[in-house]
């Protein structure tokens, strides 16, 4: 069973950058893709990016395209989310999880990591 632990969140000013890490254990190759999700106060959880565990192909939500970059380091069993040009609306708790199914069907979520963009 794959387990994922998020880290790297923090407080940053608008226009700043953060890099989130998702450390994986288990047979990650069994996942079609791993995604980064976020949930802001009063808003639904949304998927912001995902990466294929087989070929490394990526997808991004329109709201983060051109600003965020998802990547993986197979040797470290880690998926990253590099977040640049951060905006106030990026403030949320960020989670990583499997990305091959609708969000509503994902039953288990970790602690996540808080990203706060504030001036």
Question: Would the pLDDT of 29 be above 70?
Answer: no
Question: Would the pLDDT of 66 be above 90?
Answer: yes
The confidence band for 2, taking pLDDT boundaries of 50, 70 and 90, is confident
Residue 100 · residue 31 · CB < 8 Å: yes
pLDDT at 93: 98
The confidence band for 28, taking pLDDT boundaries of 50, 70 and 90, is low
Q: What is the 3-state secondary structure (H, E, C) of 72-83?
A: EEHHHCEEEEEE
Residue 85 · residue 15 · CB < 8 Å: yes
> Taking residues 33-52, what's their average pLDDT?
96
Question: Would the pLDDT of 64 be above 70?
Answer: yes
């Amino acid at each position: 069973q794959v387990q994922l632990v998020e880290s790297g969140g923090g407080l940053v000013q608008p226009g700043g950058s953060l890099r989130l890490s998702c450390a994986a254990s288990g047979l990650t190759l069994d996942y079609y893709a791993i995604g980064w999700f976020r949930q802001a106060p009063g808003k639904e959880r949304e998927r912001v990016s995902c990466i294929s565990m087989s070929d490394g192909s990526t997808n991004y939500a329109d709201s983060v395209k051109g600003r965020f970059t998802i990547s993986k380091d197979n040797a470290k069993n880690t998926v990253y989310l590099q977040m640049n040009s951060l905006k106030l609306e990026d403030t949320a708790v960020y989670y990583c999880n499997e990305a091959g199914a609708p969000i509503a069907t994902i039953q288990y979520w970790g602690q996540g990591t808080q990203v706060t963009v504030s001036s």
